[in-house]
Amino acid sequence: MSHPESSLSAVTVVFEADIPLLELQARSMARHVPDGVFDEVLVLDNTRAGLSPRARRRIRAELGAHADRLAFVSRAAFHLEPTASGWRSQQSLKLLAARVLTADHYVVLDAKNHFIRATTAVDFLDPETRLPHGGIHSFERHPLRAHLEHVASRLGLDPERAVERFTATVPPVVLDRRVVTEIVADIGGDDPARFVREFERAGFTEFFLYSAWQISRGAKPDDLVTGRSLVSPTVWAGATTPGEVRSVLEQADRSHTTTLAVHRRALARLAPESVRDLANFWVDHGLFPSMADARRFIQRFRIVYVRSMSARRALGLVSR
């Protein structure tokens, strides 16, 4: 049975240290995602002072043909407190995005994700059922197990059963906009600030809440996603030896997924050998014209990262 074609948007949350990575993501979208795949490209500005006009111009310029679909939304647009910045508020913003989007589904990206090969809507949605792609797996040994158990308990689910088999939570993650708007209204009514307060008070996490809310109403994990993983091969901060980085890049070349992720803390500490390997990978995948350009990007990122993290430490803020 065929289903009507679904519209799709892309959403990314950004804070200060991630701004160069967001530019890289925009560049990769211009390079690998045909115009029209995303109806909207939404940047959720989670910086304390707001993205500067210069940063916004750079991001827009990198988007190429997608630039006219770009919109920036700050915390202030949802009437949030200026101090509402951090890991938990970043999660709630990903759900509040549904209030300002119009597409049927939206792909939640982290700034660390960037496209490395041709990408179309069928990479995110099954062309026959229009069901979002996404993996289902055990969380028995997962570092976020306690978060899943907590959300499951809050929504009246059996935590042990949830841990056995639950939907993946690492971006890219595709969300049904209508479902998200129902979740936001169920928790916060018409008040975004109330939603954020209740979200943080309850200790929710965005993707666990999204799936658990639906399961609490009778759905099964297999009703929510196809089971095909969207997880990006990722260079994590805790695995930055040359061999580990090279293994991730090799995995990305073999993977059916169309994105790579490089965590900001990893990029800040890569050894020279890994900088060379990553720069070469980016050049091979059309993101930079030369190794020198890729290396300059990494150097610029590191300068921004150090400044940003120094400022956050001075303010007593903790970043993940």
Given a contact cutoff of 8 angstroms between Cβ atoms, the answer to whether 90 and 15 are in contact is yes
Q: What DSSP character marks residue 242?
A: H
Q: pLDDT tens digit string along 114-171?
A: 999 999 999 999 999 999 999 999 999 999 999 999 999 999 999 999 999 999 999 9
Q: How many helices (H) and strands (E) does the chain have?
A: 13, 10
Query: Whole-angstrom Cα distance, residue 245 to residue 85?
Result: 31
For residue 159, count CB atoms less than 10 angstroms from its CB and return exposed for 0-12, middle for 13-18, buried for 19 or more: middle
Helices 177-188 and 206-215 pack at an angle, to 10 degrees, of: 90
| pLDDT band at residue 309 under the 50/70/90 scheme | confident
For all residues of the chain together, what is the average pLDDT? 92
Query: DSSP character for 5?
Result: P
The tens digit of pLDDT for each residue in 212-254 reads: 999 999 999 999 999 999 989 999 999 999 999 999 999 999 9
Domain boundaries defined on the chain = 232-313
